[in-house]
Every structure is written in structure tokens, then in C-alpha cells.
Structure 1
Amino acid sequence: MAGETTQSRRRSPRSKHDAILEAAIQAFGRDGYEDSKWADVAKSVGIGSTALYHYFESKLHCLYVIMADTLEARLAQFEADTREVSDYPATLERVLRGGFELSDQEVLCNRVLIAEQALLAVHRTSPREEEARQRARARTRDLEFAWATFLSRAMEQGAIPEADPRLLTRAVLGLHNSVWHWYRTGGDLTLAQVADFFVARCLAILGLPTPTPATATSRRRAA
């Protein structure tokens, strides 16, 4: 029992850190970063406002960590999906569709990331804020580089038409990112319907044919 208690105490700081992040994601995603109160985040995880500073230097520091973590998750997923490629068009469609196969929490993370992206351009004097900001900026560059490299290889294989891979990357990512400005879970459109529309548009940008919508395929199978 004593061993279990000690182990629980060791896990506690990380568990509380993660709980604060989850509460902040909910608040920033629901109310917007500027309109969210740092004290309300503390209250939602059952701690006092001053206790937040044991985990994050400021609300902005927490925001930068959320943004960096979201970008790292997106990069890791892209790298996993493109590690072994035998069919570039099929892989591109799978990668694009996977960008919409998200949990409600992941949707909020993307909303926060895109809504507050401009803050990544502002240098911070606080070392911890600046470290988290630089981590997010680095992951942004890494994600764009990974996409551009993959698209260059697809062009070399004749799978997609020749174009500037950097501009093509920004066109595709820009279209995907635009969704998180307006999409709301539980709204008129399901994420699967949004995916059908935007995956087709992204593939068109890449010079590939429009696929059969996954939602239409599902309806036919159900019938």
C-alpha cells in the first residue's frame, strides 16, 4: 500500500499538469483564448489560481504548450502514415482523410492552434514562454517540410503534376486549417461530411481525381 501511495504521488504532478492542459483546451476552444479566465481553468481542476504557476508560468505559456503539442501530434501522425508508401495517390487520400478523424478534444486543439496562430510570431521575454513558442514554431516548420518532401517524392514518381512543393504544401494545409475556424462539433455538418468535401478539394489542388465520398459509401453499405 505504501508503495502504491508513493507511486501515486510521483504521478500526481504530471496528472495535474495534463488535467490543467485539458481544462485549458476546453476553455480556450469554447470561449476563445482572450475571453478565457485563467482562474476558471484552476477552478475546473480543483486547485487555487496560484497553484497553476507550479505547472505553467502564465496563461500564454499554457497556450504555447497546447499549440506545440498539437503540432507534434499532427507531425507524428503524418510521419506514421507516410512511412511506407507503395501508392502515392492512395496514401495522400488516406493522410488527408486522417486529418479529419479526430476526437472532440483534438478538434478543440486544432481550433485553438489556428485561432491563436498569430501569437507565435511575437517574441517573448519569459524564457519558459519563449521555449514553448519556439517549440511550436519548429514543429510548424517540420510539418511543412515533411509535407513538401513527401509531395516532391510523389512528383518524382509521376503520381501528381509538377508544382512548387512548398506552395502546394501551404495550399493544402491552409485549406485543411481553415476548417477549424468555423467547424463546431454537434453542428449541422458532421466531421465526416466536412472531410468528404475538403479531401476532394485538397486532392483537386494536388491534381488528383475526386474520390467517392466516404459518407456516400457508408450509406450504400447500410442500405
Structure 2
Amino acid sequence: MSVVSRAAGECQAPIAGCSPWYATKVSSSQQRRGRHRADGTKRAEILAAATERFGRDGYETTKWAAIAADVGVGPTALYHYFESKQHCLFVILDDAVQMALARFEGIAATHEDPVQALHKVVADAFDVTSHDVQRLRVLVAEHGLLAVRRSSPREEEARHVARARTRALELAWAHLLEQAMEPGAIPDAEPRMLARAVLGLYNSVWQWYRPHGAIELDAVSDFYRTRMLELIGLPADLDEARAA
């Protein structure tokens, strides 16, 4: 068959009982997309289960096999998604910081007034679910591991990404604080040091707070939000802050 007749033949209606070439290609593509979706879903399930385990029981005491059991797979199947328990941890840490940074940047971008933006980001920081709390608990407890280089390329890449994003969040806070200092809305201070102080106070909550514990999150939010704003140099009431 010539090239022309072959091409023409491919465009003809398929013979009954035979699959045309394009149907085979579409089917293969659909199968690949289906596998990717399944992989993404299972990976998300593993991250969610690991977050709950690490947040509740601690990273060191959690067994990799226990996470596998939680998601209904064998322990070796986890290595299809993560190289190790520590690789999984670094991804969880990055997810926690990425969520915080995205929300911070979204608020800062939609509020030209830095004082209003500071009030909003402080309040928003406590608008978290029980799962978010567990992820924040893991971040606070295991953040120090981001300073230790890893020999495994995948672990090191995940560590580097999480550490860089942590720095980006700190710098975003420092930039917003500096914007508020310029017109004299808050007292002058070294912006990055103040950012670290505010974040340190915020992070201290997740060392002891437990979802469904004796103290409601609303009460924790009211107490710490006021102290964080005081540390920045702002009154807790936004109208009072604007009038100052």
C-alpha cells in the first residue's frame, strides 16, 4: 500500500469488529490519565494519613507500616510515592508552609492598607481545620530537620523546597511589617526579627493545642491574636488601629 492509500485507509470507517488506530490511542491516553489520577489520589491519602499519625503520635514513633495499613496498601507500595518516611515528612512540611504562604499572599495582595492586611492575616492564621492543626503540629515539631542536608537526592530536593518556602513566608511577613513601619503605623524595628518573633509566638500554639481538647480554638485565637498584634505594635481593634 502506498503512503497515500494507507493514509486514506486510516481515515475510512473501521471494519466491524476491529478497533481503529485512533480509538486505540485515545484508549491508551485515557488509561494513562486514569492511572495518574489514581496515583494522585493515593498519594494524597498517604499524606493525609501520615499527617494524622505524625501529629497525633509523633514522627519518630510512627511506623511506616502503620501508615501503609491506614491507607490499605502494603508497606513496599509506599515507596512508589515516597522514597522514605522522611521524604514524606518533608512534603508535609512544605504543604503546611505552602498553604500559609498562599493565604498570606492572597490577603496582602487584596488589602492596600498594611494595617488592615496585618489584622486580616493574623485572624486568618487561626482559621484552620482539625487536619490543618495536625499539619501545623508536625511543622512545629519537626521544622529543625529542614536544616540537615540529606544524602538522598529526592529527600534533599524535598527538604530544599520546604526550607526555601519557609524563608519566603518569613520574608513576606517582614515585607508587610516594613510597609506598616514606613508611614509610622507601627513602631520601627528590624522587620525580619519582628517577623520571626510573631511567627514564633504563633507557632508556639501548635506545641500544646489539641483539636477537641479542653480549650476551644476560638478562645486560643482571641488570646493569641491580641498578643501577636500587641507584639507588632497594633491594638486588637482594627478601627482603633486606623485611628491611631
Instruction: Tell whether 2:164 aligns with 1:138.
Output: yes
Distance in 1 (CA, whole Å) between partners of 2:206 and 2:150 is 26
Alignment of 1:168-187 (within 5 A): 168-187=194-213
Q: Which consecutive residues of structure 2, in runs of 5 or more, have no partner in the other structure?
A: 1-26, 239-244
Alignment of 1:116-195 (within 5 A): 116-195=142-221
The one-letter code matched in structure 2 to 1:56 is: F
CA RMSD of aligned residues (A): 1.7
The one-letter code matched in structure 2 to 1:75 is: L
Q: CA deviation at 1:180?
A: 0.5
Q: CA deviation at 1:108?
A: 0.6
Whether the 8 Å contact between 2:46 and 2:68 is mirrored in structure 1 is yes
* TM-score, length basis structure 2: 0.83
Distance in 1 (CA, whole Å) between partners of 2:150 and 2:82 is 15
Identical columns (%) = 52
* TM-score, length basis structure 1: 0.90
Instruction: Tell whether 2:56 aligns with 1:30.
Output: yes
> Residue 40 of structure 1: which of 66, 69, 76 is its match?
66
> Residue 98 of structure 2: which of 50, 59, 72 is its match?
72
Which is greater in Rg?
Answer: 2
The one-letter code matched in structure 2 to 1:23 is: A
The one-letter code matched in structure 1 to 2:73 is: I
Q: CA deviation at 1:6?
A: 6.2
Greater shift after overlay, 24-33 or 156-165?
156-165
Aligned length: 212
| SS class of match (2:165) | helix
Q: Which consecutive residues of structure 1, in runs of 5 or more, have no partner in the other structure?
A: 213-223
Q: Deviations over 1:73-122 (max 9, x none)?
A: 11111000100324332221111010010011111110000001111111
> Residue 58 of structure 1: which of 84, 89, 95 is its match?
84
